[in-house]
Structure 1
């Protein structure tokens, strides 16, 4: 250790240390005072780093280098030799004994100087045999030579690998034997008490097997062994083995630290969680450091730190017990507080960082026994609680046993016990009645379970039973003693302690019959008794997956003229018709075929082992059977026809959805071609493919509306006859494929949406999202002159849509004049009167109305008088290459003139060149839009706060 660090340690370690002294502190004692041990409270200390100074050299160096110290010198861990000196004023010829209460001091030397010469030194230390250390005393007792008149200098040299402490006392040598006897008696009593505790709780642990008691016993043994070494009992018993006390102390340390920690955690039943890692790391460190201390004195300082950390960790455990509201946690905190004080203060004092409180040396001697006594009392309370819990548990077990016996006798389920070989040991009355009526339970004893379940089933069940999986349950078939098969639910439980198997048998015969009945009903159509759609799908998928029943063809029958029966005669007549027709069709099919009703007036047939020609013949046979079927209701005859789609279930068909869709498409195509015919599905048929494509779009459109696969685009509209810096555009709709992320234009899905009635829902989605977007972008709304939105006929003629539009405009606070509704010429002029009324209603709300695609159909200029319009949009067929077509120029000019006379503005679509734009401007057209002006772009590019939106390129759609 460097000199500066040694001086700092000395400054911290020495309590009341003063500046270097020139005179020795003097201790004056009378003969009466020496009848009791008197502590040396003041001494002059000198450090000898090299350990080579002689007593004479020390006496010469003390006045200049000595440091006055008050109290017990506690110097921590140091490799230096230390000298302590004090001047004694004693009666003449007084025989004294010097007591040093520290068990582990490796080298101890004592000189007495009378001013003229040094007395012969006394040598001691824990490395000497016990009887060679001085008087037989637990620590160190050295008898000083007789002292003459005058002051004497007492000089003590100490050097040790452990913590250095010098609690020195002087006493009359005549009192030394009495003090020694008292010390040995105290040590023996403490050791005996702790060993008694350990033995007592070891016996209780052997009886109760509570883990905390085992940890407590080991902890007490460790404390006892440590105290036996500290109080010199091991040296007294084995005086010729000086190495034994340090060895036992080093072995006792990890035992005390580890098992006291385990005792706390187990007694409080703590949930350690992540603290378990900290505990294991602390245990490993303790073992490593204690093993190191067996071979090197340098480990003692590190062991001191480990003891301190262990004390802090145990304090954390007690606090955790309080936080987790564990029983007796507060009691353990109070009991453990004394041990914690010892584990915290002693390491700090050994390191020389703090002095010991007055009287702590006595507490240090008695504290282990006191702590063990307190813990013993607390453990007794816990064990009493455990004992009471065991008594309650025993009473509960007796009660449960009685209840079990009553349940065993009266349970409606069959209960039995048997050997692992399957021989019945016991059976209750219910099992006996189940196997044979009027049979006594005792008559079943000795019967083999294999006789009831079958040898293979019993072997399969028992093979699954083991210690890891002691229970198994399953439905199986059992034969009673008459040989009748019965379905049961069997539960088996392995009891290794009793070397038997317990079982419960529940009769499932009625439930099985009901399940089969329900399964039959679930697979049948309630009206006709035929297979329902779900069962048809199951059979079809099993066949496609290569199941046992393989079907070769699928027929899909769609009845024609059935709606007339429901409309004219009511649904009761329609139900009766379906029942009669189902019975007729069933008789026209071979036994291997399956007939199912898959819809209101739709049927399906699965044919087995049939080639294409035979399947076509069977389909024609069914068509003729339907055609020849005559249904009469209240004297009124009705005839039906069937459009039949035929599909071969070849390798190209992989799932039931595709099979039904293709067969349905073929039947629909047969209906469109004139009804009452059979059509074989052909993947190359364009009409069928188009129908399939539309069917696929139905699902995609519905998902698009629900999951937001649509997005609004905009295409600017340019003013031709005047400059306008405000925004004017038309809103367009795009579908974004969720898989390929491809933008799809409305031309690919509007036909399917119109055919299957989804245009109204799409219009509502467009209007709602557009108005929400405008309301969310107020700066954009201020710059907006007009936005055009296309509406379908379904929305234009729907009063609820008009009400919804009005409500949303009011809700979002939007100016209606900025919204222009576009309707196509075909829609507006198809139902002129109705269209005119709805257009007037839109304009009455403040909205503008534009007639789209003008000139594309059967329009007449005369119709324009009857439509209250604002804008006329000229169809793009007149605009393409307008500059090179004089006839189209004349027609466009006439449209512009008529529109001007009616007070309408004109818009030209599909402008694709500068020449076309210049021509339109010359013809007086008010506005133009098309790819030459700008391509459609996402409306989100116009939101507030987004700059340069117009410069961002979007692919043409």
Structure 2
């Protein structure tokens, strides 16, 4: 089977470096040969006419052989034959012109240059050797056959000279031609490569003159604006910028002013469809022999990156569920407004509201119904304020409204509107959701300045005034009233917390945690409750006050001691491998009192430190990260484990992972509650599990309330599950009765 021409040329080294003869190259050789033939057919005639005719016939044969060779797609034996046939043609023309006796030729011997030059340009060294032999034969055959006086023996000198030309000078010319061909080919390949790199670059590339006009643009550049590359040539690049912007002109001006530098900028293009495309420009001035100095601009479409960053920025400042501002954004805006008030005078108000009976919705109808209600109420709040005001979800069912302008009357009207709208909306719902109302505490910034107190604390206390007064109403802190909030609910809570510590009125409930791989309840989370008369108060009602008034370390110390006492009992009576997760406030992490309480209680109750898992909420504020890290290191050396709760709910997650010691990562329930139906939540869960696994940490999924959720957790590689499907928080006796019924029945209760 015949190989392709490219393979044939590559296989033969000489052919790989030499050009093949073309009609354009052969034309000047043919002209010279024809002129020589014409000169010998003109009188006077030194030789018979048939010699000239035979020369003409031989020249025709040369032409025919050359044309036959051209019809082939690859080199063959025909290519040098045409050149070889020029030797007898040169001999005939030389003879027809009349080679004189005694070695005085007609001068037509110079025609021997034609085949030698041709082979030097298109042939191989071996073919030049053949040409040398043919040059000798051109002179030797007439000498040997005809002899003197027409062809004297002295013509051998011409044979030697022409053979030397073919053997010595022609190879030199051949090497020169070969080197020129190589250089030309390299230059052409390099130029083609540059052209391809320019045209096929995955990002936009444009060449501009120093005025910013487009000289050339590649396909990717044209695609960005929805045109063909030729349609962009001649226009200024700034013509494709979003109207009203002038960044490109400034960019080019700065570049021209400092030609040795590279400048970067970001701007927006307006495409042919009227859509804006975010791009990043990187430009420099380069020299071109043909065009002089030109500006080369690299253009990268960063629309996806911009949308991603905008989304991250939005997530950093907004609540994932409701889309409202989160606590971080709220605190930033509150600080900004307080600064404004200090400069121009107090104005505006802060409204803090909490949903009444909302917990019953979650407990009775499930978290999905609770989430839907929160989303609806968020919409009601958003429609109740001006665009210049701010509504935020601070956590759970607690919201805040920052009115940036207005007096006490305006705050009263907005608060009343909020209470009415929430009550009226809940009235349209079924079941326990009908009983959901709002308690609102409203404080103007003028009133807060009169009390010289933290407005958020005042609003919180005022909100609890509304709850104490019967809920579903507003409590307003009057301006000019030195008494402060009527019941000073938060201050009252401080005394209630202190009394609970003194009189042991706190209770610990246990929520089971299941090892997904084994299905075994291997641990539980300790949850704090406050027994206040007939009410069992959840920590959301009093932990905030305890943190504010500095009582949280004492509360945490009580929890640690009672938890370890309970753990010692569980391991002795029920499960010797059982573990407990104990929550610590972010403000308690690193506190010497807590460290002393842990070490003392471990010794006091004889509990293996590895059975104690200290849990910190990721959204909690750690007072001193460096001190907390040292604390975590000491506790880890002691044998205790750490868990990071609500992972993903805030943006300190990765910072804490890097700077603190954690053994468990508890995935925030926001990403678990709907994971069976939300691909986004499932992707986030998979990412958290992957990060935890790579860091050598184990994962716990919270809010596991349905079998489908548990199955997704199992498929994604979560280690432990916690939620109402596994078990609700219950007292110790109920917990033991449910999970160790036979043992619990045999052990008398206290």
Task: Indicate the structure with greater helix content.
Answer: 2
TM over 0.5: no
Give the TM-score normalised by the residue count of structure 2. Answer: 0.37
Give the TM-score normalised by the residue count of structure 1. Answer: 0.29
